[in-house]
Chains A and B, each alone.
Chain A
């Protein structure tokens, strides 16, 4: 069977998920001895194509139209490419931009869509593994259809390796400008406040388990006692309890401290994406099944309101 993956880039750089899509697409195509095609749309597509030319890629289709991602352009171009290449499986990234065109493309093509895949298998038909209930359980979904669309969770597959000998073919997409009904006018970076958490050697990071804003003093005291910097997971930022520049995770900062102490953080995939590179990860959480314990090096399954004061006492007492 044929697999078509769609690369992702932003502001002149291919994003990591692009090579992960190639690796996942290659494995899927190999299962049936099929071909892997890769599409790259907008920006310096020739340059990107060279980078995407990895072992086992048959053809790379380039669509030179505009510079940055525009979902109306992508939706039209990917739908036309899918018609031309006719892949059994169309693989797109489960990124913020992937979710800004993949469902529209699938709907336009009349293909069933399974999002946020963490596993793919093919045995006469496609089976997708995904998570439910905040990663508490996994489920498998059989796709009873000739053709399907799937979005792939970033950082679940290894990056594709090797140098391939793919044909690089410009694809003449017919973009109907009247259907380009959105305009990207710019980008804005979240500024840094008084500290940059990405520079810290030790981070004390707090999550939803802290319950109330006034309880933040407890983790502030711990950070002070340890000489650490305070950071947080998304709910704390959404509640306005700490500024955005303190957020660790997919939409916040990626941090790689020597020691990361996660307090009352369940470890949702979006959070883990921002801190899994820490050298030593410590988790304090009263849920023994919290996914944070899957990546922690050291853990305490207990009430943080008992453990944190005792820990402060250890360092100040």
Chain B
């Protein structure tokens, strides 16, 4: 059995930041593995531990700077990685799930996985659509926002829970092969061991360009164009208490007492 896990290096923005054109100024960003993907990787590694002969392959779209982040997944137990990159991608705003899915689908067709796990969304762009778009392009079944997963390869299904709004979970049987988008909290992602980190350095990380995947620049064409990026106007009308903690806490306590709190 082969499990393909999509992973992404995401950008976190500092509390205070500046905008440079259509992006956040580089000085105010840090890179990390997408939180949802950490849970997807853990889900895959747990399946590899539960069943015999499972290979876990990660795939990402990113330049060479993302390799360190991507190796985190290898350190946690993924067997090998594929990184899709091409100079043509440097100028492509990845805001179209169809574009991302085309690149990922090309890798998936080469790998022919039984199961594809993605995060529900990425922390920076929050499209929430790449996994399903990938499923549709591959002709696979899918389930979105999965917070419980029990794989039954003998039955050819995955028994999943989908986390609906309002504390309700939907219990669904999904035919394999399938793409499942994994919600945070589904498991307890492990920390990479020192041994895992060492081993990750020697695991296979293949870099594939558009040509390697049988694609050309037309795969990157998108009708979506980002035209502005700005800080929304603060809508807040909050009364802010200012000063040292003793003072602000005192003022807040006074307000709370007026509301009858702590009486």
Interface contacts (Cβ under 8 Å), in number, total 262
The interface centre, meaning the residue of A115, A185, A234 with most chain B CB atoms within 10 A of its CB, is A115
Whether, in the assembled complex, B185 has its beta carbon less than 8 Å from a beta carbon of chain A, the answer is yes
Docked-complex contact A287 and B15, CB < 8 angstroms:
yes
B55-63, B69-77, B250-258 - interface stretch = B250-258
Docked-complex contact B174 and A104, CB < 8 angstroms:
no
Q: A97-B164, A104-B136 are in contact. Are A112 and B223 (CB under 8 A)?
A: yes
The docked-state distance in angstroms from the alpha carbon of A309 to that of B125 is 36
Docked-complex contact A234 and B185, CB < 8 angstroms:
yes
Q: How large is the interface on A (under 10, 10 to 19, 20 to 34, 35 or more residues)?
A: 35 or more
Contact of A112 among B17, B184, B222, B242 (CB under 8 A): B222
Per-residue interface assignment for chain B, residues 25 to 37, with 1 indicating a CB less than 8 Å from any chain A CB and 0 otherwise: 0000000000000
Q: A108-B136, A185-B173 are in contact. Are A140 and B168 (CB under 8 A)?
A: no
Beta-carbon nearest neighbor of A222 in chain B: B262
Docked-complex contact B175 and A251, CB < 8 angstroms:
no
Docked-complex contact B15 and A286, CB < 8 angstroms:
yes
Closest chain A CB from B82 CB (angstroms): 22
Closest chain B CB from A235 CB (angstroms): 8
Closest chain A CB from B218 CB (angstroms): 14
Contact of B19 among A95, A135, A137, A142 (CB under 8 A): A137
Docked-complex contact B162 and A299, CB < 8 angstroms:
no
Docked-complex contact B128 and A116, CB < 8 angstroms:
yes
Whether, in the assembled complex, B98 has its beta carbon less than 8 Å from a beta carbon of chain A, the answer is yes
Closest chain A CB from B138 CB (angstroms): 10
The docked-state distance in angstroms from the alpha carbon of A145 to that of B225 is 11
Determine the chain A residues whose CB is within 8 A of the CB of B234 once the complex forms.
293-294
The B-contacting residues of A in range 202-244, CB under 8 angstroms, are: 202, 225-228, 234-235, 237-238, 240, 244
The A-contacting residues of B in range 180-238, CB under 8 angstroms, are: 181, 184-185, 188, 222-232, 234-238
Determine the chain B residues whose CB is within 8 A of the CB of A104 once the complex forms.
132-133, 135-136, 142
Whether, in the assembled complex, B152 has its beta carbon less than 8 Å from a beta carbon of chain A, the answer is no
Question: Please, how many residues of chain B have a CB less than 8 angstroms from a CB on the other chain?
Answer: 86
Determine the chain B residues whose CB is within 8 A of the CB of A80 once the complex forms.
none
Docked-complex contact B230 and A96, CB < 8 angstroms:
no
Q: A227-B262, A258-B259, A280-B259 are in contact. Are A187 and B170 (CB under 8 A)?
A: yes
Contact of A107 among B16, B133, B175, B229 (CB under 8 A): B133
Docked-complex contact A311 and B252, CB < 8 angstroms:
yes
Contact of B171 among A187, A202, A289, A295 (CB under 8 A): A187
Docked-complex contact B232 and A185, CB < 8 angstroms:
no
A40-48, A126-134, A166-174 - interface stretch = A126-134
Docked-complex contact A314 and B235, CB < 8 angstroms:
no
Whether, in the assembled complex, A73 has its beta carbon less than 8 Å from a beta carbon of chain B, the answer is no
Beta-carbon nearest neighbor of A182 in chain B: B174
The docked-state distance in angstroms from the alpha carbon of A144 to that of B224 is 6
Docked-complex contact A238 and B164, CB < 8 angstroms:
no
Docked-complex contact B227 and A141, CB < 8 angstroms:
yes
The docked-state distance in angstroms from the alpha carbon of A240 to that of B185 is 8
Q: A96-B162, A139-B226, A251-B165 are in contact. Are A102 and B129 (CB under 8 A)?
A: yes
Whether, in the assembled complex, B50 has its beta carbon less than 8 Å from a beta carbon of chain A, the answer is no
Docked-complex contact A300 and B241, CB < 8 angstroms:
yes
Q: A187-B168, A190-B167, A251-B166 are in contact. Are A182 and B24 (CB under 8 A)?
A: no
Interface positions of B (Cβ within 8 A of A)? 11-13, 15-17, 19, 22, 24, 95-98, 101, 120, 123-133, 135-137, 141-145, 161-175, 181, 184-185, 188, 222-232, 234-242, 245-246, 248-250, 252-253, 255-256, 259-262
Q: A184-B171, A187-B168, A299-B239 are in contact. List 4 more A-B contacts (CB 8 A).
A: A181-B174, A184-B172, A185-B172, A234-B185
Cβ contacts A to B, 10 pairs, < 8 Å: A103-B130, A113-B133, A139-B229, A143-B224, A185-B173, A189-B167, A251-B163, A288-B15, A307-B249, A314-B253
